[in-house]
Structure 1
Amino acid sequence: MTDDPPSPPATLPAELVDALADATPEQLRAVSRHAEALAEHKACEARLTDAADDADAAERPDGVPAKASTTIKEINGNRYYYWQWREGETVRSQYKGPVANEE
């Protein structure tokens, strides 16, 4: 073991490196456990989002961009799904289908 502390990764912000340098060994171990758990959570969240985006893209018709979201509009007492997205200052919508009664 060397007397010099380990070098931080170049990708870490200076504020984080400074905060870690001032931490106690117990705090560093707690940060390590939290960082591992947070990394796993974010990776899982990203996988779920990617899967949802892939499923959503499969049913998206031509002309509806990937950034479009779905919204529900009520017209004459009936509820309908619409794709909705922004083009500059304009909000665009395209009919998707009726909302099922059980929703």
Structure 2
Amino acid sequence: MATAEMLLSEQHLHHQRLRLDALRDQLSELDPSLHPSRATGPMSAEFASAAALLTERERQVLEQVLSGAANAAIAGELGVSLETVKTHVKRILRKMGAANRAELISRSR
């Protein structure tokens, strides 16, 4: 059973890494200076591991944050209140070990 759980965990991390790579690509299209190259080293693995600990809704908010969306835009896109988005962003920053959005985006590289 533990082997099956490890496999599912590894598959989940792989899926998260693919999603984050796609987000980084989108971010670099918006502003190439924010993402000069795709990182494949320990930091991106660390970021993907931390992102795997997020809830599904937090991952949705993370995707929006990494794409440069403001809280109000995220709230409108997800159909939740502005306060709910602020709470999600705070939790994401805490779980990802980032002080602010800029640091979060930097760590996503």
Identify, as 1 or 2, the structure richer in helix.
Answer: 2
Report the structure number with the largest CA radius of gyration.
1
Between 1 and 2, higher relative CO (CA 8 Å, sep ≥ 6) is seen in 2
TM-score of Structure 1 vs Structure 2, range by shorter chain? 0.3 to 0.5
